[in-house]
Amino acid sequence: MDLNNKTILVTGGTGSFGKKFTETALNKYKPKKLIIFSRDELKQYEMQQNPVFRKREDTLRYFIGDVRDADRLRRAFDGVEVVIHAAALKQVPAMEYNPFEAIKTNIIGAENIINASIDQGVEKVIALSTDKAANPISLYGATKLCSDKLFIRANTYAGGKKTKFACVRYGNVMGSRGSVIPIFLEQIKTGTLTITDERMTRFWITLQQGVDFVITSLGIMKGGEIFVPKIPSMKVIDLARAMAPKAKFKVIGIRVGEKLHEAMILEDDARITKEFRDFFIIDNLDMHKGGKVLPEGFKYSSDNNSDWFTEKELKKILSENLSI
């Protein structure tokens, strides 16, 4: 999507995705205004001091607020044309222990985003989803599934208003807060890395790939879709070996709310999904023409993926993206 001369707001704008999206939008486009909406004033201050963002301070605005606060969202969305909803509580163990908080942010927050967008005439809203929303076993996954449903059905709820809603669903983001990489980096100092299960697999995507896919999806969305990129899988044990080939590994067992493998498209969703060269679109209204109909029984999961990172490739991508 062409973001030139657009007024854009990013919820969770001080997070890993929000900062990379902001950097990309400022480097590749000339938005009229880019609003960073988040609840942490310290992270906003630190972002403001970053030379990458200071040089474009004429374009950036920083709003303190929480997606739980509907009134604050309505004020913040005044004049906004594009909303990227990246705010969420996403730490799986923490959400199992604090379920009410997960619901307030991930579900009630989604409802507030939808109402504020419609009321203020926002043109396009993209909500970030996760592979954990497909057949969820964790509370985090369940709240994101509910959020996905809210955003997809919001297109009907909007009635004759111009606001369109869609979701982007992808897997683990390399190096983001909550990923295993920061944990491994700390454990490398001890010489021992903890592995939940040697069979565990995950989809993997870089922050830049995630941002680029969101911008691409913004450009082609019609409202009501879930966009799923084609991305490689990896074995977590291979990631550990790539990061610390001389370390010892200790198997500690799968945590509560954690899966052995993740999925992004289930068999039932596959019936309403079209395959394109670089991505899939889950599209109940069949709005996108030209895609390939998926075969009966199709499932896109991290263990049956046709594209895998080798240990050597993991070393290369870690070196390029995280200087490991």
User: By CB neighbour count within 10 A (0-12 exposed, 13-18 middle, 19+ buried), where does 177 fall?
Assistant: exposed
b/e map 209-236, b = 16+ CB within 10 Å: bbbbbbbbbbeebebbbbbbbbbbbbbb
pLDDT under 70 in the chain at which residues? 175, 177-178, 322-324
Phi and psi for 302 in degrees, rounded to 5?
A: -70, -20
Q: Which residues pair with 16 in a beta bridge?
A: none
Q: Where are the alpha helices (DSSP H) in the chain?
A: 16-28, 41-49, 51-54, 70-76, 92-97, 99-103, 109-120, 139-157, 180-188, 207-220, 236-243, 267-270, 311-322
Report the distance separating Cα 59 and Cα 240, nearest Å: 41
Token reading at 217: 């999806």
Token reading at 218: 């913004």
Report the distance separating Cα 39 and Cα 122, nearest Å: 21
**Residues labelled as active-site residues:** 132
**85 Cβ neighbours under 8 A, 6+ residues apart:** 11, 12, 67, 110, 113, 125, 126, 127, 128, 151
pLDDT value of position 65: 98
Give me the torsion for CA of 2, 87, 171, 215, rounded to 10°: 0
Q: Residue type for 125, please?
A: V
For the chain, list the domains and their CATH numbers. 7-170+206-229 (3.40.50.720)
HSE (side-chain half, CA atoms, 13 Å) at 26: 21
Contact 90, 173 (CB under 8 A): no
Number of H helices, E strands in the chain: 13, 17
Contact 1, 31 (CB under 8 A): no
pLDDT value of position 323: 57
Q: How far is CA 85 from CA 107, 123, 148, in A?
A: 12, 14, 11
Encode pLDDT of 280-320 as tens digits: 999 988 899 889 999 999 999 999 999 999 888 998 888 87
